[in-house]
Amino acid sequence: MKLLVTGGGGFIGSNLANLLVKKGYEIRILDNFSTGYRKNLLNFDMEIIDGDVRDKECVNKAMNGVEIVFHLAAHIGNVKSLNNPYEDSEINVLGTINILEAARKGVKKIVYSSSAAIFGELLTMPIDENHLQNPDSPYGVSKLSAEKQMLCFAKLYDMTVVCLRYFNVYGVHQRYDAYGNVIPIFANRLFSGKPLIIYGGGEQTRDFVNVKDVAKANFLASQKAEKSGVYNVGSGTNITVNYLAQIVQESSGISTAIQYEAPRKGEVKHCKADITKIKNELGFEPDADIKTGLKEYFDWYKKDIQEK
């Protein structure tokens, strides 16, 4: 069975691709490597197509002979989308439609990487899949739009679509990006001898889920989901950013000052996933506690920056 992973050179995509290869599947990667890294895939035998999901011809080529698609290629980040809303929609919405148009000619299942950013500010905690979807950023809007396109195509054509709504993913292969997740940003500042910057009072909460668990959720969705639908993918727990600042210093072995700045636009105050549905229907159980996951991440991070 041939599987396609779009964005397979990226942080989450490469962890998923590596998992699938270990399980014996034939893998094809579609990635323009604008944010992904070829070295994430060097230790595994897989076909790589260098291309962009906005390129219809390239997408059609990548889809040839594929039975299952994992669609992860995306313009990622709430703050990043505020600065580049056009590009955000081009990649996340139009690129997804290209995937769907090519896939409907023979693909049996698509597992789509959505985001908790579709919810916006939470009205209830923990948040389940039926929570009001009122995104606070262009990124959240584009991911919600793409998710709706996915579910629409599933109704119109003979294929199953599973949308996975990721909460705050962290782990191996996650490199520094000024627009990205707080954990690699903290790592970059720690190893550069700079203070950690916390926006707001630091009592905002996040549900951090290890990328290994996210890869596992994708695999389970591809194997066990019998009908189209949506699932939260998180740890089912949350911690404050202030506590995160404490444990990243413990896990990295580096102590530094903490600097507080004004809150940023487009960011929610609190976040915690209800993962009951994915547990009950797909058998998903997050494995790694955050302290163990952070230790593994910092071990990888130190090696990665030494190789640059």
Confidence bin at 270 (pLDDT 50/70/90): confident
| 76: pLDDT strictly greater than 90 | no
pLDDT at 265 over 80: no
Do the beta carbons of residue 217 and residue 284 sit within 8 Å? yes
Q: Which active-site residues does the annotation give? A: 139
Which residue carries 């996210």 as its tokens? 214
C-alpha span between 290 and 150 (Å, rounded): 32
Please give the Cα distance from 122 to 242 (Å, whole number).
Answer: 20
**Measured between alpha carbons, how far is 2 from 28 in angstroms, rounded to an integer?**
7
Which amino acid does the sequence have at 136?
A: D
| Full strand arrangement of the beta sheet holding 26-31 | 47-50, 26-31, 2-6, 68-71, 109-115, 160-166, 229-233
* Per-residue pLDDT at 114: 98
Q: Which two tokens stand for residue 26?
A: 């034939």
Under CATH, domain 2-172+209-236+270-287 is a member of which superfamily? Answer: NAD(P)-binding Rossmann-like Domain (3.40.50.720)
Task: Look at residues 104, 32, 80, 57 and name the one whose alpha carbon lies nearest to residue 264.
Answer: 80
Question: Each residue of 163-194: pLDDT tens digit?
Answer: 999 999 999 999 987 667 899 999 999 999 99
Which DSSP category does 15 fall into?
H
Helical (H) or strand (E) element with 100: helix 95-103
Which position has the higher pLDDT, 16 or 306?
16
Q: How confident is the model at residue 1 (pLDDT cuts 50, 70, 90)?
A: confident
**For all residues of the chain together, what is the average pLDDT?**
94
Lookup: tokens for 72 = 């992860």
- Show me where the domains of the chain are located: 2-172+209-236+270-287
Instruction: Give the C-alpha separation, 8 to 3, whole Å.
Output: 11
* Strand 109-115, strand 68-71: pairing: parallel
